[in-house]
């Protein structure tokens, strides 16, 4: 399967040369931010890791520390994100979401609803290794509660059924209907069990059967029948089962729509999807927004931060 990312590995790549370019961009008075952002957005993450290693070998210094010392604000956050390996980036995002007072539920929802089963398994293992044996499941369970916690724990098992269970499509749709629209009050457990354990292909068929049965899209029923973090998580699971790029297009749209920008979300999605499915996200974005992703970034951000985001976006779909 061809990558649908906007950022590709550079063809005539030389880690030492790139390390030197970055060193020169930061040496002396003033920093050449343009050289830094042009170079780092035109290398794959694997190549950036090689540049980081070459930089240490050549200069005996940590490239990320040097970048942090020279850059600032949102631009720095974005560049440090690009310099982090994808797995480590997810682990750090989750750790930051649950450490300290309060929980950033949005991050838990986004990562655990959208990553593949293998990615979730890798995250769980890497978290444990990095945290000296602490379990991500225990840390998340300690920070969340109720049905929201239950569904997160199911997603952390990363053991969805494979393929489509033809015989269960109707019965799953019936069970969801009985648990929500047909019942006074809601049986959240049914929603959690079915949406947390079935494959995406199977769920898409269940959603069609549910629509025929109830006259509603499953999203409408979830909106009506649930609330708060559980609602956000159930909707994210449903949207990712339908289309991961469409889910991220919507996430990006709401990060910039209205007054103020949710820069943390904007940075996280642009960093994590630039090599995966940014081309598809851009076309899905165009379906829900009067403006292209490129135009919205243009209008919502500024300076070197904007330049780097636009390079990750990789083009305009006017």
Q: What is the dihedral of CA 229, 231, 233, 239, to 10 degrees?
A: -150
pLDDT band at residue 182, thresholds of 50, 70 and 90? confident
Contact 33, 304 (CB under 8 A): yes
Higher pLDDT, 75 or 1: 75
Contact 173, 209 (CB under 8 A): yes
Following DSSP, what letter does each residue of 146-212 receive, concatenated?
A: HHHHHHHHHHHH--PPPS--GGGHHHHHHHHHHHTTTSSS--HHHHHHHHHHS-HHHHHHHHHHHHH
Q: Are 54 and 15 in contact (CB under 8 A)?
A: yes
Spatial separation of the C-alpha atoms in residues 286 and 249, rounded to whole Å:
9
Q: What are phi and psi of 224, to 5 degrees?
A: -80, -35
Which DSSP helix (H) or strand (E) runs through 144?
none
- In this prediction, residue 183 has a pLDDT band, given cuts at 50, 70 and 90, of confident
Q: Locate tokens 């199977």: which residue?
A: 202
- Mean pLDDT (the chain) is 96
Q: Provide mean pLDDT across the span 68-83.
A: 97
The whole-number pLDDT of residue 1 equals 53
* pLDDT at residue 298 greater than cutoff 60: yes
Q: For 168-242, which CATH superfamily applies?
A: Annexin (1.10.220.10)
Domain ranges, ordered by start, for the chain: 15-83, 101-157, 168-242, 244-313
What's the fold here for domain 15-83?
Annexin V; domain 1 (1.10.220)
Q: Whole-angstrom Cα distance, residue 285 to residue 134?
A: 38
Q: How many Cβ atoms from other residues are within 10 Å of residue 145's Cβ? A: 10
pLDDT at residue 297 greater than cutoff 90: yes
Architecture per CATH, domain 101-157, reads as: Orthogonal Bundle (1.10)
pLDDT of residue 185: 74
**Whether 314 contacts 279, CB under 8 Å:** yes
Give yes or no for residue 36 having a pLDDT over 80: yes
Confidence of residue 2 (pLDDT cuts 50, 70, 90): low
- State the Rg of the chain over Cα: 21
Longest CA–CA span in the chain (Å) reads 70
The answer to whether domain 244-313 has CATH 3.90.960.10 is: no
């Amino acid at each position: 399967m061809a990558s649908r990312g906007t950022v590709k590995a550079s063809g005539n790549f030389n880690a030492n040369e790139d390390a030197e370019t970055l060193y020169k961009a930061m040496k002396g008075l003033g920093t050449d931010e343009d050289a830094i952002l042009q170079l780092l957005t035109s290398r794959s993450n694997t190549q950036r890791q090689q540049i980081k290693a070459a930089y240490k070998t050549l200069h005996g210094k940590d490239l990320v520390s040097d970048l942090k010392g020279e850059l600032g604000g949102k631009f720095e956050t974005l560049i440090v994100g690009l310099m982090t390996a994808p797995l480590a980036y997810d682990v750090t995002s989750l750790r930051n979401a649950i450490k300290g007072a309060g929980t950033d539920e949005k991050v838990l929802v986004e990562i655990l609803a959208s990553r593949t089963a293998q990615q979730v398994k890798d995250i769980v293992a890497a978290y444990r290794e990095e945290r000296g044996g602490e379990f991500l499941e225990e840390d998340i369970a300690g920070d969340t509660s109720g049905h929201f916690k239950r569904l997160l724990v199911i997603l952390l098992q990363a053991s969805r059924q494979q393929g489509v269970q033809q015989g269960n499509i109707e019965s799953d749709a019936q069970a969801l209907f009985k648990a929500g629209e047909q019942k006074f009050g809601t049986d959240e457990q049914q929603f959690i069990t079915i949406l947390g354990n079935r494959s995406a292909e199977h769920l898409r068929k269940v959603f069609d059967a549910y629509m025929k049965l109830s006259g509603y899209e499953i999203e409408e029923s979830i909106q009506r029948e649930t609330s708060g973090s559980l609602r956000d998580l159930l909707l994210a699971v449903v949207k990712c089962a339908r289309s991961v790029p469409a889910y991220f297009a919507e996430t990006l749209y709401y990060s910039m729509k209205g007054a103020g920008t949710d820069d943390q979300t904007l940075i996280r999605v642009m960093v994590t999807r630039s090599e995966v499915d940014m081309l598809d996200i851009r076309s899905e974005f165009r379906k829900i927004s009067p403006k292209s992703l490129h135009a919205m970034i243009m209008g919502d951000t500024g300076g070197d931060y904007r330049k780097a985001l636009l390079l990750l976006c990789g083009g305009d779909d006017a």
